[in-house]
Amino acid sequence: MTAEKITTDRIEIPVADGTSMGGYLARPAGAGDHPGVVVAMELFGVDAHVRGICDDLARRGFTALAPDFYHRVQPGADLPHDAAGRERGFELLPQLTRSDVIADAAAALAALDSLGIPGAGMLGLSAGGHLTYLAATALDVPNAVVCYGGWLTGNPDLPVTGPEPTLTLTPKISGRLLYLVGADDHVIGAEEQRQIAAALAAAGERHQFLAYPGAGHSFLRSDAPAVQDAFARIDAWLRGE
């Protein structure tokens, strides 16, 4: 793969409820068709890691947009990846509702469409993995990748995960969905991984589940051996391959 030169920008995205949502946009500097992908943030907001994922996707030839799903509660949230940031994240995340998340995801996909970006897909990381899974059940997302998305079997403290568990909505996914997780993930235990794999298998061959032996939660933040393989799979999946 030849790395593309990229440009980055901050944009404002209109949402159907009248709010405005910030977003980080990374795209190849050169001409050509560069498939669009919405990148759903982790618990910590659109932080350096999420922006780095967008930049990496842009170098691979994608137009990547990371919308600020916290824009109604703490616009521009960029939390530190530490105990304090995690605590604040768990104050913000329960304020997200399913209807707002779906509206925001739809707005981000529409923003890519308005830029003339073809074939929009979606990539979600951890908490954003859950948001991506949910969006895939409600919107036209041709190619979705969920990286270690948790709470799919429900969490009474998070309104976005209910009232019915998001996993039960799997038959409503209209596109393709790839779920990647570390086999040793402390957030998504073995039984929940089994349930996710079973739900995707039951929904048909357009979906895939893969657990990486020895990898833990948020392994894309690490130098784990799984990272290179995961990015190769993400690249191919978002291209519909």
Assess contact for 93 and 60: CB atoms under 8 A. no
**pLDDT tens-digit profile of 137-174?**
999 999 999 999 999 999 999 999 999 999 999 999 99
For the cut 90, the answer to whether the pLDDT of residue 3 exceeds it is no
User: How does residue 2 score in pLDDT terms, banded at 50, 70 and 90?
Assistant: low
**pLDDT tens-digit profile of 207-229?**
999 999 999 999 999 888 899 99
Query: CA Rg, the chain, in Å?
Result: 16
pTM of the complete model: 0.96
Within 13 A of 45's CA, how many CA atoms are on the CB side?
26
Res 205: pLDDT:
80
Higher pLDDT, 72 or 32: 72
**pLDDT tens-digit profile of 47-61?**
999 999 999 999 999
* Ordered DSSP codes for the chain: -PPPPEEEEEEEEE-TTS-EEEEEEEEESSSS---EEEEE-BTTBS-HHHHHHHHHHHHTT-EEEEE-TTTTTSTT-B--SSHHHHHHHHHHGGG--HHHHHHHHHHHHHHHHHTT--S-EEEEETHHHHHHHHHHHHS--SEEEEES---TT--TT-GGGTTTTGGGGGGG--SEEEEEEETT-SSS-HHHHHHHHHHHHHH-TTEEEEEETT--TTGGGTT-THHHHHHHHHHHHHTT-
User: How does residue 105 score in pLDDT terms, banded at 50, 70 and 90?
Assistant: very high
Res 48: pLDDT:
97
Q: What is the mean pLDDT of residues 94-123?
A: 94
Q: What is the mean pLDDT of residues 87-106?
A: 97
Domains and CATH numbers, the chain: 6-238 (3.40.50.1820)
